Structure 1
Amino acid sequence: MEIRLDDPAASHVSELLAHHLRELRSVMGEHAFALDASGLSSPGVTFWTAWREGELAGFGALKQLGARRGEVKSMRAAPSARGTGVGHALLGHIVAEARARGYEALYLETGTADLHAPAIALYRRSGFISCGPFADYEASEHNQFMVLTL
């Protein structure tokens, strides 16, 4: 698997990103905080794609929350790549980058619906624990918050 720094507005990302946003919004409604291409292109957000045998396998991003904190954003495996380790590879890459930047903590917000269960299991296996809302988030029955101390 190859992980590349990429442009979230690139044409090769658009279909998977649109699928990601549609799926989350269909389950979470107004509580879906996933970023679109413009949000993922914002200053302070770094975006990567994962490739397997020349095919887009997924994407993920790291948002800077301050000098010592970051947030995992928009982790997504392509439907054809689910269960193949792409999420694990992307999360490992993001955690390594956060450590290299000197972050002390890495946060994330995710959903509570059944479709989030594999991601939640991945985050827990990677050492993330539950925490309260951070940044500008507000708690609801549709989301949950996690942190990894680095």
Structure 2
Amino acid sequence: MVNLTAWRQLRPELQNTALRIEPVVALTWDVAELLTRHFEMMQAQTPSESCHVMSADDLFAAGAKVFAARDDTTTLGIAAIKPLDSTHGELKSMHTRVEARSRGVGAALVQRILSEATDLGMTRISLETGSEAPFAPARRLYERYGFDYCPPFGDYVEDPLSVFMTRTL
């Protein structure tokens, strides 16, 4: 469960915002739109040999659990946890709508993914993100939530355009 009290304390301007983090049980148009936006943005920013973004179909086929952050009217962000094995998960497809950035949506999604990983009995969660400047805000967010830099995991290999991070739960 996301700690909304802590989230609102970090963002006092959002005291009256009803942010909900909900599991996506079926691919709705709003989630598909954000996943497609994320997919296209990652492909546009990263050469294909270094781009590890997954399509919505691939995420669900891999057994990922997808979550959507919503306010009263809009899906503001998405994130997924993909199992790598019974104790290790990967945070995937983290994306906040441009109009909702700097409002704590990403923080709330990371908290929910960490909570879900714990509920699933995982003891570690890892991620891959870009090493270039546009990815710096994401790296800072992950650092705030206890992720440390690590070598490649799973099927990843060293890549100057990738950064790998992990966190013990």
TM-score by length of 2: 0.84
Q: Say which is worse superposed, 20-29 or 2-11, in terms of deviation.
A: 2-11
Flag the structure with larger Rg: 2
Residue 12 of structure 1, aligned match among 18, 30, 37: 30
Question: What's the CA shift for 1:19?
Answer: 1.8
Question: What's the CA shift for 1:44?
Answer: 2.3
Structure 2 gap segments, 5+ residues each:
1-18
Question: What's the CA shift for 1:81?
Answer: 0.6
SS at 1:62 equivalent:
strand
Q: Which amino acid aligns with 1:146?
A: M
- Contact 1:58–1:78 (Cα < 8 Å) also in 2: yes
Give the alignment of 1:76-87 within 5 angstroms: 76-87=95-106
Q: Which amino acid aligns with 1:75?
A: M
Find the counterpart in structure 2 of residue 58 from structure 1: 77
Structure (1 or 2) with the greater strand fraction: 1
Question: What's the CA shift for 1:69?
Answer: 0.7
- Contact 2:70–2:77 (Cα < 8 Å) also in 1: yes
Q: Which amino acid aligns with 1:33?
A: H
1:86-144 CA deviation, whole Å, 9 max, x = no partner?
A: 00000000001111112111100001121111110000010000000111111211111
What is the percentage of aligned positions where both structures have the same residue?
34
Root-mean-square deviation (CA, aligned residues, Å) is: 1.3
Q: How many residues in Structure 1 have an aligned counterpart in Structure 2?
A: 150
Find the counterpart in structure 1 of residue 68 from structure 2: 49
Find the counterpart in structure 2 of residue 26 from structure 1: 44
- Contact 1:8–1:47 (Cα < 8 Å) also in 2: no
Question: What's the CA shift for 1:9?
Answer: 3.5
Residue 131 of structure 1, aligned match among 137, 140, 150: 150
Structure 1 gap segments, 5+ residues each:
none
- Contact 2:36–2:56 (Cα < 8 Å) also in 1: no
